[in-house]
Amino acid sequence: MKKAVISGSASGIGGCVKTRLQAQGYDVIGIDLKDADITADLSTSEGRQAAIDGALEKSGGTIDILVLAAGLGGHLDDGQLVAKVNYYGAVELLDGLKDTLARSKARVTVISSNSAQMGADPNGDLAKAFLDGTEEEAMALIGDNHAALIYGMSKHAVARAVRRRAAEWGALGIQLNAIAPGMTETPLFRGAAEHPTIGKSVESIPIPQDRVATADEMAGVIEFMLSDAAAYMQGSII
């Protein structure tokens, strides 16, 4: 049976991807803070390593699909916490599982966000710290800033991290892409939409279809990205 690993598997888009892959016959290994096969806190280096070790152990060293869906929203007070989960909780799992993914010629999709293009300075100090510096340097720059000011940049950096790895990973046989969802009905979105201050900003963002997406609609796009029909896709941000 083929193996799939999903972070953020307990709810939202990750939960819907889990259901879809199980329906295809995959043995799905979920990573989350609770209600998952691997309980891990991706805001810490120890938690990320526990997630990596657990995924390798439970998969028997063979991972055919990896979906990194764990994330926190911009409605939270702690900007550092959001950056730690959204960026480092993705790239450290990517890099920590790289050799295993190469052996199985795995397909990988990482969740970025449409917010990645909203006000993020691609040449700013925080972008440089995420992509070329250390976690400690990034946290020092974030300081006590609210997550509303950090969320978009954390997802911007995720998308760029995927693009940076795409050529090398493709040569190793790993398919690596990202999806950047717009507003989608998830616990993360609901937290932002119902926030007394952040919610006003959410309401101001135009939506072409005049509704938010369902989590399963986004999971359907991810299912396509992981399928044979998308086998030539590499380094793409949908």
- Enter the tokens of residue 30: 């979920």
Q: Is residue 151 annotated as a catalytic residue, yes or no? A: yes
- Spatial distance between the Cα atoms of 60 and 65, rounded to a whole number of angstroms: 14
Residue type, 2: K
For residue 68, report the phi and psi dihedrals to the nearest 5 degrees: -105, 100
Q: Are 3 and 29 in contact (CB under 8 A)?
A: yes
Chain centroid to CA 96: 15
Distance of alpha carbon 62 from alpha carbon 27, whole angstroms: 11
CB atoms within 10 A of CB 37: 16
The single residue of 26, 87, 151, 232 carrying the catalytic annotation is 151
Active site residues: 151
